[in-house]
């Protein structure tokens, strides 16, 4: 995408350019709009991705939240360009993947399986960035979310650096987080919606253990605090439990629904920044609305997921189409 403009504007421009190509308005031959960007070059791309995802999901349903998280981490650092998927090598030892927030990411093997299936059918055609976007869409649907269209045509990055970590920290204030999301083109409403991904998320104790030693601050339900002390220990105790994990939505941990917002309304969020959203003037109304309107949440969440997948994409002659997602085509 071009430089400048909000994510909404960039997404709209990209959609218009794709529509123009598909309608032949640029004088070029184009894929059929009925089957998407790869209609002429890899018409079964959607089905191939979906088949692999369904097969792997029914063996291990934890892969779906992991893929959604992976898309977010990829898109928030230099755009949706599969730079996150590059693994370290002796000559390039510090790609994004070694940054601290990315060290706990899972399901790279699923990305490799999807890409291998695509390469077997259509060698060198479907980018890893597009594959990841389709995988996130299918993960969302497998978890009960509303299906959404994915605009395709992304290219894969030619560089990936751990120091370009641009992810909001779980310890950030809500004001800082809102500014961070706004810089990527997301409104306060859309930021609250992206928090909704935690309905199928999990957190390490290191992300919230500091809150457990503050029983009197009123921001965490006491029964939840006591339960988490049992899992994680207190903040002044040895950090052996920092990597223990717990669901952010223990009620329906593998269903995309609005239950997480109801937990925020009851002070039952583990993450401080999410909990702040329930009382902050810029976001409290959205939390209350989505807590009371499950259908509205599902529809809007699908829209903001589609928008997330358009942040900072490479297209045209930029980047490359990797044949293996974890390494560049040329070293």
Give the residue numbers annotated as catalytic, written as ranges.
73
d(CA 263, CA 259): 7
Q: Is 24 annotated as a binding residue?
A: no
The candidate with the shortest Cα–Cα distance to 127, out of 52, 70, 45, 16, is: 45
Q: Is 83 annotated as a binding residue?
A: yes
Residue burial 242-253, b: 16+ Cβ < 10 Å; e: rest: eeeebbbbeebb
CB 159, CB 83: distance < 8 Å: yes
Per the annotation, does 168 bind a ligand?
yes
Tokens coding 74: 């990829």
Distance in angstroms (rounded) separating the CA atoms of residues 177 and 35: 37
- Confirm whether residue 177 is marked as ligand binding: no
For strand 202-204 and strand 245-247, is the pairing parallel, antiparallel, or unpaired? antiparallel
Is 204 part of any known ligand binding site? Answer: no
Q: Is 206 annotated as a binding residue?
A: no
Sequence ranges of the binding site for heme b:
198
Sequence ranges of the binding site:
74, 77, 79, 81, 83, 96, 168, 198-199, 249, 252, 257
Sequence ranges of the binding site for substrate:
168
């Amino acid at each position: 995408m071009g430089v400048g403009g909000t994510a909404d504007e960039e997404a709209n421009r990209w959609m218009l350019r794709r529509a123009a190509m598909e309608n032949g308005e640029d004088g070029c031959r184009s894929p059929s709009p009925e089957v998407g960007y790869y209609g002429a070059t890899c018409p079964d791309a959607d089905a191939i991705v979906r088949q692999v995802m369904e097969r792997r999901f029914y063996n291990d349903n934890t892969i779906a939240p992991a893929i959604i998280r992976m898309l977010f981490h990829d898109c928030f650092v230099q755009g949706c360009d599969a730079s996150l998927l590059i693994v370290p090598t002796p000559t390039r030892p510090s790609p994004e993947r070694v940054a601290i927030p990315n060290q706990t990411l899972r399901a790279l093997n699923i990305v490799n399986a999807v890409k291998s299936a695509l390469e077997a059918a259509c060698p060198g055609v479907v980018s890893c960035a597009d594959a990841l976007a389709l995988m996130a869409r299918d993960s969302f649907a497998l978890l009960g979310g509303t299906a959404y269209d994915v605009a395709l045509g992304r290219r894969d990055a030619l560089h990936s650096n751990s120091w370009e970590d641009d992810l909001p920290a779980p310890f950030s204030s809500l004001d800082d987080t809102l500014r961070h999301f706004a810089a990527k083109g997301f409104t306060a409403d859309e930021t609250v919606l992206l928090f909704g991904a935690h309905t199928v998320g999990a957190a390490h104790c290191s992300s919230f253990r500091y809150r457990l030693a503050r029983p009197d601050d009123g921001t965490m339900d006491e029964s939840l605090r006591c339960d988490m002390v049992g899992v994680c220990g207190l903040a002044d105790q040895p950090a052996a439990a920092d990597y223990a994990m717990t669901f952010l939505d223990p009620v329906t941990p593998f269903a995309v629904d609005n239950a997480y917002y109801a937990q925020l309304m009851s002070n039952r969020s583990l993450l401080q920044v999410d909990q702040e959203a329930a009382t902050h003037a810029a976001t409290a109304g959205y939390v209350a609305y989505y807590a009371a309107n499950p259908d509205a949440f599902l529809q809007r969440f699908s829209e903001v997921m589609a928008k997330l997948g358009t942040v900072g994409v490479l297209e045209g002659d930029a980047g490359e189409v990797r044949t293996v997602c974890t390494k560049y085509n040329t070293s």
